[in-house]
Amino acid sequence: MGTIAAMAPIAINVAQGAHLNVAIVGAAVIGGSYFGDNLSMISDTTISAAEGCGSEMKDKFKMNFFIALPAAIVAMILYSVIGGTGSGAIKAGSYNIIEVLPYLIVLGAALMGINVAVVLFVGILSAGIIGLCVGSCGFFDWIQAIGNGMSDMFSISMVAILVSGIIGLVREYGGVEWLVEAISDKIKSRRGAEYGIGLMSGILSAAMVNNTIAIIVTCPIAKEIGAKYKIAPKRLASLVDIFACAFISLMPHDGGMLMITALANVSPLSVLKYSFYMFGLIIATCVTIQFGLMDGKN
């Protein structure tokens, strides 16, 4: 989410200036963000999955690498074919190199995995301080810009609040427990166990709109199933992480998707049809489960 928040405004503005398809660019931002998350050693999803399933983070990284990299390569090839070259020119205009610092601070902090609220607050604060120092904006201009930005995000915030309320009702009335039991009861083999674990993590992530919480909920059950069917902890960690990230990234009510669609003024379906990495990641993982391609690494 932090990486999408940092990159989306820049990527969408560049796409609009170059007359590129903003839906494709938005999908690429989401896919690239989750590709980095899948291979990160310090992301909250990696830590939750590795610790929850009893795996070393480096082992989980290696398991993810052989699944995520092929999906990323296929996505890059498809984007290079259909992405276009653009037909417009981007005019940068006059600028002060010092004013670039807030963007670098936001990008660096987001890539470091710092909480998105902290990242954005630091970015706003640093932009205001630098603007006042170099004289590119006054104090009231800065305040007005913040107000305009907050009003633009108001509708997204309201949707997020409503979705969170629905999730709370589902959890309160036992929807999560029912889903876990329904999937666990149908597992009869190792292959079914891996599909079941992935599906459980993915559906919980999509339902709760929080992949980290979905991973935390899934891991204890995944460990029990894994012990029964002799699935290595690193494989369990990889499955719960990949499916949780893949499913939530395709949800129209996910925070990243809401941000992209609001900035680009496009529908979620327009972005989804270009989400090559996320679909490729699911397909690649299912191929490894169906044909037991990662069993030798367990």
Give the mean model confidence (pLDDT) for residues 136-153.
64
**Across residues 179-206, what is the average pLDDT?**
87
DSSP string of 75-91, one letter each residue: HHHHHHHHS---SS---
Q: Compare 142 and 7 and report the one with higher pLDDT.
A: 7
Q: What is the pLDDT of residue 188?
A: 87
pLDDT per position as a tens digit, 3-21 = 888 788 888 888 888 888 9
Sorting pLDDT into bands at 50, 70 and 90, what band is 186? confident
pLDDT of residue 76: 95
Average of pLDDT values for 159-168? 64
pLDDT digits (tens, 9 = 90+) for 243-281: 999 999 999 988 889 889 988 899 999 999 999 999 999
At 102-111, the pLDDT tens digits run 777 776 776 6
| Pick from 78-87, 141-150, 241-250: least confident | 141-150
Higher-pLDDT residue of 19, 134: 19
pLDDT at 75 over 80: yes
C-alpha–C-alpha distance, residues 199 and 183, integer Å: 8
Residue 94 has pLDDT above 70, yes or no: no
d(C-alpha 140, C-alpha 138), whole Å: 6
Residue 59: which of 239, 237, 292 has the closest Cα? 237
Please tell me the least confidently modeled range out of 14-18, 25-29, 130-134: 130-134
Top-confidence residue, 231 or 167? 231
Tell me the pTM: 0.75
* Separate counts of helices (H) and strands (E) for the chain: 15, 0
Give the phi and the psi of residue 165 in degrees, each rounded to 5.
Answer: -65, -40
Task: Please tell me which residue, 80 or 213, carries the higher pLDDT value.
Answer: 80
Cβ atoms 181, 226 nearer than 8 A:
no
CA–CA gap between residue 112 and residue 263 (Å, rounded): 24
Domain ranges of the chain: 2-96+136-297
For residue 145, pLDDT over 60 is answered with: yes
User: Which one has a higher pLDDT value, 112 or 74?
Assistant: 74
What average pLDDT does this structure show over 214-224?
85
- Give the pLDDT confidence score for residue 240 in this predicted structure: 95
State how far the Cα of 42 lies from the Cα of 8, in Å rounded to an integer: 22
Residue type present at position 122: V
CA pair distance 78, 224, nearest whole angstrom:
39
Q: Which residues contact 296 (CB under 8 A, 6 or more apart)?
A: none
Where helices occur in 40-174 by DSSP H, the ranges are 44-53, 57-82, 101-111, 116-134, 139-152, 154-172
